[in-house]
Structure 1
Amino acid sequence: MHEYIRLIRHTGNRDLFRAVEMSVAALVNDRPFHIQAEGLRGTGKTTIMRMARALLPPITRIKNCLYNCDPAAPHCPFHRHLSRDEIAVLGTEEVPRPFLEISQAAKPGTVVGSIDLVKLTDPAKPLAALLPGTIPQAHRGIVFIDEINRLADTSPELADILLDVMGTRPGRVQIEEPGLPVVELPVTVSIWAASNPDEDPGPLNRIRKQLADRFDLAVTMGRPDNSQDVVRILAGEDNRQRVDLPVCQPLGSLQDVTPSQDLREVLGRIYLEFNLESLRSITAMETAACLTALLAGRPTAGVAELMQVAPLALMHRNNQETIAAIMEFLNRLLCGQEYAPINCVASATSPAKAVSPVAALLSSLKSQIVNLLRNRPWLPDTGTQGSGQPGGAHIIDPLATTIIAPPNPATPITHLPEDQFVTIEINQHGR
């Protein structure tokens, strides 16, 4: 905890701290919340995520269960069919909440599970049994993947496993080994990932768009923007100065935070009017807004909380023009201004016609410019009233305007002396 608190926060990394603390708050409430950090190498993405393991409270599991079975809801092949009395006989224990990593060299068997070679080669009592992999052993905890864009590019089979784990809540893994029955397990695991999108093979959303969409939030990690932040980082690293910053802890249960009706109506409008592809973006925004309210100690999540998290839920799913239009839409709602729907409203006789977000943004800018011109006094008054325009502005009619020519005719360039339109520079060598 202390090492995480001592990490220096600056404008470039604040979003990652927020995302990490939201994911921890969600996991404590038994809800996986997947986050990805993108940014230049050396900016501290991996450091922050690894240090955050200190925030994780311990879990209580059935004693010696490699799958971290919750005594109140056992799920593994050995304990899922046991009664409460049988579980009580086995006993329980408190252990650190899992924080495991998947490396670039990992194989499907080590990630999902494989035959337990120790038991199989036991000379006294050989037994064919399964050994759970990284993901099953991280149940109720976190799996961290560094350089996930490289892993998705070089290990498509591991990317497919992650798609299953992150596709539903809880996720699922399936362990298959010849000669043994197939084991399917539910897993409650939050996936944290980091990547350098400027290096080969590029950003995750260009390599495996389906996998990128599984992340609830994506954070762009930036550099410090002033020298004092760098000074503080250096002071913290050599222990000469420590800056203690409070870390928001979840207050109560996520179930106690209610999404406002306005929030859900706004999310519905955003999904339809801005033609979003994935419903996951909408559910991610609602969950992130509720987690923001939870960490702030508020019982209700509304449009104000949505404003804080929308860019993080959209940046890896949509282009910048769409995100800018959505943020303008939310900003107008918060300011109490009306905002026309992006799609044409369907009438009784004609269906709605979709308009692209870019076209909608250009149309909005055009309307603002027209309104500005209508209400500005600098337009010349020719005595001709504009065609019913409000604001009393007079628009020049070129057909009713007398054009006055210059008093002297222009001289053709061929009749001008050369020195009036040609400049000759002579260097030190006389050239």
Structure 2
Amino acid sequence: MRPYPFTAVVGMPDLRLGLVLSAISPAIGGVLVRGEKGTAKSTMVRALAGLLPEVDVVEGCRFSCDPAAPDPNCPDAPHDTRALRRPARLVELPVGAAEDRVIGSLNLERALTEGVTDFQPGLLAAAHRGLLYVDEVNLLHDHLVDTLLDAAAMGRATVEREGVSVSHAARFVLIGTMNPEEGELRPQLLDRFGLTVEVAASRDPEQRAEVIRRRLAYEADPDAFAARFEDTDAQLAAEIAAAQKLLPSVELSDEALRQIAEVCAAFEVDGMRADIVTARTAVAHAAWSGRTEVSTEDIRVAARLALPHRRRRNPFDAPGIDEEQLEQALRDAEPPEDPGPPDDDGPGSGSDTLDGSGQLGDRNGEHGDRNGEHGGEQRAVGAGKPYRARMFSVAGIGEGAHGKRSRAVTDAGRTIGVRPPGAREGRPHLVATVRAAAPHQRSRGRDGAGLVLRPSDLRFALREGREGNLVLFCVDASGSMGAKSRMREVKAAVLSLLLDAYQRRDKVGLVTFRAGGAELALPPTISVEAAATRLEGLPTGGRTPLAEGLLEAARVLRVEAVRDPRRRPLLVVVTDGRATSGADAVARSQQAADMLAGAGVASVVMDCETGRMRLGLAAELAARLGGEHVPLGEVAADTLATEVRRRAA
């Protein structure tokens, strides 16, 4: 079935332009497409491959070397002179792909037995001189994202195994798509993408109807539908090819460079990558517009694509750019003889290219104080400023997802041993394999330098690293927690723990209990931003159904144990320990705590009790749960360090 035509996609000019500019200049560093599900992100990316010019490759080369300038270090060198022309490839990287599938693998058996380097190329080699597409890139393991971005930036991929190193060219346009509701990329990785584009479904009924009309027509007869857009796709492909040829001739003047530096400085972005990417994007836009000199308009467009995701100061900030600030920075950087752009009717009206899909405005929210009391019910109290929290972990050694919280057996980390014979997981352990094969060399009739190796000799490394956990917050939102200053402090502590969970790549969930019962305010997710939003709007009031909160937490953990059995849970109960809902509230709370302890759930009780006369109920709850008791004022890491120094004095 023919792919959906690129020019048949309705609307989304930002995404269209970002993809085209990256195709014109792969040095930009690719595009990250952020948006809700069902917005044609994948459709447009897959359609882009059909617009790229065909490439000449060395016939038989697995690494797509250019016949005009073959890579002398290519693993398949020396090359034949025969050339083959083929379309540019679109390589899709599955979220669950193993590292060897991505970067390639070395055949240890052949290295030991024959003394040759047998390298099997991975997806990075297949994507060379084409497109590499990662759907749901935010769900990809961090170390794989690092590998992809390093290769995209350096233009080469390197595989090192047991002292053997292989390197090959890997120049490609990297495109990632993600739904922010499922969790964000870490800022370090976010910054490595050249451009970012926000997409959302149109709210215009006519445009939505046209999307449906075209999609149904495509599904009914893909070939006939694609034929309708052959001419417009061919015209766009020709324009991309022309821009690629014009690109080396585009001049970036000193005035334009100063404008770029002024804009990046005005937005206080970290490092110099933003300046470099903005400059490359402006040059590509000038070539796309048929000009040989970068203009203010090129810089304006480039800044809108290159800067929004670099303005985040913490993971709870949404990417965005202030249009008025951008226009002011551009005016400030104009040379004196240039009167600058005419006055606008509103932000962003100076660009005909980036309109129609909504501006990327400044949506970085501040935690405001929305406290108000109406009888027994209170409106939400804003959270205080988050801080660096203590690190809590799950005891023992798990086998969970990649992360940075608790000890676990992983495929990365320090080698602590060898897996049992027959366990073919992870990377081969060279020394253990040689030791296993050595005693049998005479009986196997070894003749020569190479080892006689059998599959049963292979041993694989046992490595210990860190895993991410499921951190389930069970938060008391009853009236006893409702004092304005106390709830602000509680939310600041939970927000700090959420920030810690984000940094340690945990999954998080939120259970709240108040008034008559408990509810799952946020099902377990990797989106700590969603948890922070739910926490910010959490109201308080009513009695304290502690038992119901613990039972709901137990139910959530049972369900998650089925869905994600390798991810160990950490229950964080935020309460003053009171149980006031029902005549047998205390007894039922104790029974629920005993049940969680019996199930072996690791737990932390964050004690929110204040005042001179304290009942110590939260400490009793922690004892029943078999967990750690932490007063609210000791959640901060700095507080713990101060206490350790005081006791050591």
Band of TM-score, shorter chain: 0.5 to 0.7
1:233 and 2:211 are equivalent in the alignment: yes
Separation in 1, partners of 2:55, 2:169: 17
Name the residue aligned to 2:129: 140
Question: Is the Cα contact below 8 Å between 1:250 and 1:295 reproduced in 2?
Answer: no
Separation in 2, partners of 1:2, 1:172: 30
Deviation string, structure 1 residues 55-95 (Cα, Å, up to 9, x no partner): 1222111111111111232226456864xxx642xx11112
Kindly state the Cα deviation for residue 197 of structure 1 after the two structures are TM-superposed: 0.4
Kindly state the Cα deviation for residue 324 of structure 1 after the two structures are TM-superposed: 4.5
Instruction: Specify every segment of 5 or more residues in structure 1 that has no aligned partner in the other structure, as ranges.
Output: 339-357, 359-431
Separation in 2, partners of 1:66, 1:183: 14
Kindly state the Cα deviation for residue 36 of structure 1 after the two structures are TM-superposed: 0.7
1:70 and 2:66 are equivalent in the alignment: yes
Name the residue aligned to 1:355: none
Read off the aligned partner of 1:98 and give its amino acid letter. Answer: R
Kindly state the Cα deviation for residue 273 of structure 1 after the two structures are TM-superposed: 4.6
Question: Is the Cα contact below 8 Å between 1:315 and 1:323 reproduced in 2?
Answer: no
Kindly state the Cα deviation for residue 267 of structure 1 after the two structures are TM-superposed: 1.4
Instruction: From 183, 190, 212, give the equivalent of 2:173.
Output: 190
What are the equivalent positions in structure 2 for 1:368-387 lying under 5 Å apart? none
Name the residue aligned to 2:306: 313
Name the residue aligned to 1:171: 155
1:259 and 2:255 are equivalent in the alignment: no
Q: Secondary structure at the match of 1:174?
A: strand
Change in Cα spacing, 1:292 to 1:187, as seen in structure 2 (3 Å) is same
Read off the aligned partner of 2:68 and give its amino acid letter. Answer: A
Deviation string, structure 1 residues 331-370 (Cα, Å, up to 9, x no partner): 56586389xxxxxxxxxxxxxxxxxxx9xxxxxxxxxxxx
Name the residue aligned to 2:55: 59
TM-score by length of 2: 0.45
Read off the aligned partner of 2:60 and give its amino acid letter. Answer: N
Separation in 1, partners of 2:19, 2:100: 28
Change in Cα spacing, 1:337 to 1:223, as seen in structure 2 (3 Å) is closer
Change in Cα spacing, 1:104 to 1:79, as seen in structure 2 (3 Å) is closer
Name the residue aligned to 1:211: 189
Change in Cα spacing, 1:273 to 1:220, as seen in structure 2 (3 Å) is closer
Read off the aligned partner of 2:160 and give its amino acid letter. Answer: E
- The count of residues paired between Structure 1 and Structure 2 equals 315
Name the residue aligned to 2:384: none
Question: Is the Cα contact below 8 Å between 2:22 and 2:31 reproduced in 1?
Answer: yes
Question: Is the Cα contact below 8 Å between 1:38 and 1:221 reproduced in 2?
Answer: yes
Instruction: From 131, 153, 159, give the equivalent of 2:120.
Output: 131
Question: Is the Cα contact below 8 Å between 2:53 and 2:241 reproduced in 1?
Answer: no
Separation in 1, partners of 2:77, 2:65: 12
Separation in 1, partners of 2:341, 2:247: 31
Deviation string, structure 1 residues 242-274 (Cα, Å, up to 9, x no partner): 577563424233101112332111112234454
More strand by share: 2
Deviation string, structure 1 residues 106-161 (Cα, Å, up to 9, x no partner): 011000011359x959xxx997611011012211111100011111xxx1221221
Q: Secondary structure at the match of 2:285?
A: helix
- Compute the RMSD of aligned alpha carbons: 3.1
Separation in 2, partners of 1:312, 1:221: 12
TM-score by length of 1: 0.65
Name the residue aligned to 2:529: none
Change in Cα spacing, 1:331 to 1:45, as seen in structure 2 (3 Å) is farther
Change in Cα spacing, 1:272 to 1:5, as seen in structure 2 (3 Å) is closer
Instruction: From 150, 160, 166, give the equivalent of 2:139.
Output: 150
Name the residue aligned to 2:105: 114
Name the residue aligned to 2:147: 161
Deviation string, structure 1 residues 25-56 (Cα, Å, up to 9, x no partner): 124xxx46310100110011111111111112
Read off the aligned partner of 2:271 and give its amino acid letter. Answer: S
Instruction: From 281, 286, 296, give the equivalent of 2:274.
Output: 281
